[in-house]
Amino acid sequence: MTTTNNKPRLKKMVVNDIVSMKNKEKISVITSYDYWSAKICDNSGIDIILVGDSGGMVMLGYNSTVPVNMKEMLIFSKAVSLGTKRSLIVSDMPFGSYQVGIKHAVRNAIRFIKTGSDAVKLEGGIEIIDRIKAIKEVGIPVMGHIGLKPQTTKLWEGYRVQGNTAIGGSQLLKEAIELEKAGVFAIVLEMVTSEVADLISRNVKIPTIGIGSGPHCDGQVLVLHDMLNLYDNIKPRFVKTYTNLSETILNSIHNYITDVKTGKFPEDRHSYKIEDKEFERLVKMIKTLRKKLS
C-alpha cells in the first residue's frame, strides 16, 4: 500500500486503504503538530499522520495530555493538513471534547474535519461507544484507543502496563470487539502486553496500531519528537530513537553563536548589495541633508 518499487505512493490515503492493509502490510503511523514536520512526514511515505494530544506536551510544555484543549488541537490539525497531501490525517480529540455528551462530541469532531483532518481518535472503551456511533453516523471515521489511556489513566492508576492479568486481558479484548462493532476503522493499543495485543489483533477484523504493545499489531505509532530525541522529559521504554536531533540542533546553534561572536557570520555571500551608482547618490543625498540640518 505504502510503496511501489520503493517509491512513495502518491495517491491520497483514505480510511479504506488503511483497513485493507490488515494482514497484508504493516501500517506506519507517526505524530505531527505543525506544517514543516507534516510536510516531511508526508513526503517520507508514512501511512498515517496522527495529530496527537501529545502535542500539548512536546509543543506547549504541559506535563501531560490533559490540559491541551480544542483550540490548540485545531491549530495543530490545520497546520498539519496544510503540509499533507498524501497521508491519512487522524486528529486526537482532547480530554473534555467528547466526554460531556453526544452532541458535544459530534460538534467537536466536525470541527476537526473542517480543519482538514480525515478522521478523529477517541480514547476509551465501552463507556464511549455512544459517542463513537454518533460521530460515525454523521460520516466521520473514528479510530479507537484502548489500553493505557493517558487522558484518564493517570487519574486512576498511573502509567502502568495494561493486560498483564487474565482479567485485564479479557477486558481489553472485550473492549476491542465492542469498538469494532461500534464502527471504528482501527484501534490504537497503548502499553498493552505483547501477548494480549497479539490476541486482540487476531480477533478483530480491523487494524490494530501498537505503541509499546509489541510486534504483533497491524501497525506501529511513535511520537515524532521521541524518535528524533527532541523531547526528553519522558523516555518511555518502548521508544526507539532513530537519531539524536536534539544534539545536532544544539551543536548547530553553538556554532552559530561562535560565528556571530567572532564575526564569521554573516559573510558577503549572505548579504545584499546596493549598486555603486545608487550608493554614490545616497552619499550625496546624506551630505545635502546634513548641510540643511546644520
C-alpha grid cell for residue 52? 496527537
- Per the document, the length of the chain is 294
Tens-binned pLDDT, residue by residue, of the chain (294 aa): 455 445 556 799 999 999 999 999 999 999 999 999 999 999 999 999 999 999 999 999 999 999 999 999 999 999 999 999 999 999 999 999 999 999 999 999 999 999 999 999 999 999 999 999 999 999 999 999 999 999 986 666 667 899 999 999 999 999 999 999 999 999 999 999 999 999 999 999 999 999 999 999 999 999 999 999 999 888 888 899 999 999 999 999 999 999 999 999 999 999 999 999 999 999 999 999 988 887
Among the listed residues 67, 57, 70, 65, the one whose alpha carbon sits nearest the alpha carbon of residue 226 = 57
Question: Which amino acid is it at 180?
Answer: E
For the chain, the farthest-separated pair of C-alpha atoms sits apart, in whole angstroms, at 93
pLDDT of residue 6: 53
**Active-site residue, from 123, 175, 180, 190:** 190
pLDDT of residue 7: 57
C-alpha grid cell for residue 292? 540643511
Q: On the CB side of 30, how many CA atoms lie within 13 Å of its CA? A: 23
Report the distance separating Cα 294 and Cα 291, nearest Å: 5
pLDDT of residue 4: 46
Q: Where are the domains of the chain?
A: 3-244, 248-293
Report the distance separating Cα 195 and Cα 133, nearest Å: 29
Q: Name every residue whose Cβ is closer than 8 Å to that of residue 99 and which is 6 or more positions away in sequence.
A: 105, 128
Report the distance separating Cα 128 and Cα 191, nearest Å: 20
CATH superfamily, domain at 3-244:
Phosphoenolpyruvate-binding domains (3.20.20.60)
What's the whole-model pTM score? 0.92
pLDDT of residue 137: 98
| Residue 190 is among the residues annotated as catalytic for this protein | yes
